[in-house]
C-alpha cells in the first residue's frame, strides 16, 4: 500500500521529510495550484530526493497535482473578510475570478469557495460582474478554489502553466500525475498524448474524481487512466455532504470490480493540522477506506501546513496497516 504526504512549508526540510519516510510515507504530492516546479526545485533537489535516499526509499513516488480545469480566485493584495448576509462583487471592480465563472453564473446559482468554507449566492449577473450575497462568510485569500454548484463549466484540460510544468517533470523525477476535475476519457487521452510529447510515457496518470461529470463517466475514465483518486474536497462541494459517503462507496465498488487501483484523499486527518492526536472518526474513516479497497492514502494540509506532519503520517500508516490485517 502507498502512503502519500503533500509537500509544503511545514515539511520543507530534509530532516522532516526523512522522518516522514521513516514512519511509512512512500511518496509525496506537489500541489501546482500554488507553485511551479521551477519554484520547487530547491525543495525537490536538496530535500525530498536526498531524504528519500537517506531513508532507503529509492523508489519513492513524486506526484504532480496539476492545475487543470480547476477554477480559482485571482490574486488579492490582502485577505478579504466576507461577512454573512452582506453583498460582494465578483469580477470587474471586485474580487477577481475566471471568465468561466462570469459566463456560467446565473441568478440564484451558488458559488462555493475554499472547499465550501465560503458560500455565495448570485443575485445579479452580467458578462463582466456578479453581485452575490454571502451565505457563509469568513476570510478569503488569493488562489482559493471556486466551484459553481450544479453547473458544468467549460474549461481547458491543461493550462499553460500545466504545460510548462510537464516539460520539466522528467528532470525532477516525477512518477505520477494527478489530473484534476477529470470529466471524461478525452481529458485522460489528451494528457497522455501530452506526456508522450515530453517523453514521459512511463509516468502514471491518477484521475481525480471531483465532480458529477467524472462520476457519471467513471467507467470510461477507468479504461484510460492508471488509477482513480477519490478527491473528496471538491467532490463534496458538488452535493450535500451527507450524500458524499455513498458516492465514495460507489466509486470504490466500481474500482474494485474493474480492478483499477484507487487513492483516497482529503481531510483524512484534518484535525491533526492543529492537534497531535486525531479524532476517533478520522481513524475510523481511514480504516474503512482500506477495507473498501483503497490502494493508497494521501494527506494534504496535514503535512503541508499542519503542526504535526510526522505524527499525522504515523497515524495514517499505523491505522491503515491495522485495517490490512482484517482484509
Q: Which of 127, 148, 169 represents a domain boundary (last residue)? A: 148
Residue 183 shares a structural domain with residue 296? yes
Distance, CA of 164 to CA of 100 (rounded, Å): 22
Percent of the chain with pLDDT over 70: 99
Q: How far apart are CA 30 and CA 40, in angstroms?
A: 8
Asked if 295 and 313 sit in the same domain, the reply is yes
Q: Are 198 and 259 part of one and the same domain?
A: yes
pLDDT at 156: 77
Q: Say yes or no: 42 and 166 in one domain.
A: yes
C-alpha cell at 64: 504532480
Inform me whether the pLDDT recorded for 251 exceeds 70.
yes
Mind listing the pLDDT tens digit for each residue in 65-84?
A: 998 766 889 889 999 999 99
User: Is residue 188 domain-shared with residue 82, that is, in the same domain?
Assistant: no
Model pLDDT for residues 256-281, shown as the tens digit of each residue: 999 999 999 999 999 999 999 999 99
Mean pLDDT, all residues of the chain: 94
* pLDDT value of residue 146: 84
Q: Can you give the pLDDT at residue 69?
A: 67
> Model confidence over 130-188: pLDDT tens digits?
999 999 999 999 888 888 887 767 677 898 899 999 999 999 999 999 999 999 999 99
- d(CA 300, CA 79) in angstroms, rounded, equals 22
What share of the chain has pLDDT > 90, as a percent? 80
Domain CATH number, residue 115: 2.40.33.10
Q: Does residue 79 share a domain with residue 64?
A: no
Specify whether 236 is located in the same domain as 93.
no
β pairing state of 145-148 and 110-113: antiparallel
Pick the closest to residue 229 from 304, 301, 183, 178 (CA basis): 178
Domain residues for 297? 2-69+156-324
Total of domains in the chain: 2
Give yes or no: residues 165 and 232 share one domain. yes
SS (H, E, C) the chain: CEEEEECCHHHCCHHHHHHHHHCCCCEEEEECCCCCHHHHHHHHHHHHHHHHHHCCCCCCEEEEECCCCCEECCCCCCCEEECCCCEEEEECCCECCCHHHHHHCCCCCEEEECCCCEEEEEEEECCCEEEEEEEECEEECCCCEEEECCCCCCCCCCCHHHHHHHHHHCCCCCCEEEECCCCCHHHHHHHHHHHHHCCCCCCEEEEEECCHHHHHCHHHHHHHCCEEEEEHHHHHHCCCHHHHHHHHHHHHHHHHHHCCCEEEECCCCHHHHCCCCCCHHHHHHHHHHHHCCCCEEECCHHHHCCCCHHHHHHHHHHHHHHHHCCC
Calpha distance 325→321 (Å, rounded): 7
Same domain, 161 and 289: yes
Is pLDDT above 90 for 237? no
Q: Mark whether 111 and 162 lie in a shared domain.
A: no
Please indicate, yes or no, whether residues 244 and 122 belong to a single structural domain of this protein: no
Q: Are residues 65 and 86 in the same domain?
A: no
Mean pLDDT value across residues 290-317: 97
Amino acid at each position: 500500500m502507498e502512503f502519500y504526504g503533500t509537500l509544503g512549508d511545514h515539511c520543507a526540510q530534509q530532516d522532516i521529510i526523512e522522518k516522514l519516510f521513516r514512519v511509512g510515507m512512500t511518496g509525496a504530492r506537489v500541489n501546482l495550484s500554488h507553485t511551479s516546479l521551477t519554484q520547487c526545485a530547491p525543495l525537490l533537489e536538496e530535500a525530498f530526493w536526498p531524504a528519500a535516499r537517506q531513508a532507503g526509499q529509492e523508489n519513492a513516488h513524486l506526484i504532480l497535482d496539476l492545475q487543470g480545469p480547476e477554477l480559482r480566485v485571482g490574486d488579492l493584495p490582502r485577505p478579504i473578510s466576507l461577512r454573512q448576509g452582506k453583498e460582494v462583487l465578483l469580477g470587474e471592480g471586485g474580487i477577481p475570478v475566471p471568465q468561466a465563472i462570469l459566463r456560467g453564473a446565473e441568478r440564484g446559482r451558488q458559488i462555493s469557495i475554499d472547499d465550501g468554507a465560503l458560500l455565495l449566492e448570485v443575485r445579479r449577473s452580467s458578462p463582466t460582474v456578479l453581485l452575490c450575497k454571502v451565505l457563509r462568510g469568513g476570510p478569503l485569500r488569493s488562489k482559493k478554489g471556486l466551484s459553481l454548484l450544479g453547473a458544468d463549466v467549460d474549461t481547458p484540460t491543461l493550462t499553460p502553466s500545466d504545460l510548462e510544468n510537464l516539460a520539466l517533470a522528467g528532470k525532477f523525477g516525477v512518477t505520477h500525475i494527478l489530473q484534476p476535475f477529470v470529466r471524461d476519457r478525452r481529458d485522460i487521452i489528451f494528457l497522455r498524448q501530452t506526456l508522450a510529447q515530453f517523453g514521459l510515457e512511463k509516468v502514471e496518470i491518477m484521475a481525480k474524481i471531483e465532480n458529477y461529470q467524472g462520476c457519471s463517466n467513471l467507467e470510461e475514465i477507468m479504461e484510460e487512466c492508471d488509477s482513480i483518486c477519490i478527491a473528496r474536497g471538491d467532490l463534496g462541494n458538488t452535493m450535500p455532504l451527507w450524500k458524499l459517503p455513498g458516492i465514495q462507496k460507489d466509486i470504490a465498488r466500481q474500482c474494485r470490480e474493474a480492478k483499477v487501483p484507487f487513492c483516497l484523499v482529503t481531510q483524512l486527518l484534518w484535525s491533526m493540522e492543529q492537534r497531535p492526536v486525531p479524532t476517533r472518526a478520522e481513524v475510523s474513516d481511514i480504516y474503512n477506506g482500506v477495507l473498501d479497497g483503497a490502494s493508497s492514502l494521501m494527506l494534504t494540509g496535514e503535512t503541508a501546513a499542519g503542526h504535526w506532519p510526522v505524527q499525522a503520517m504515523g497515524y495514517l500508516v499505523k491505522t491503515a496497516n491495522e485495517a490490512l490485517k482484517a482484509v
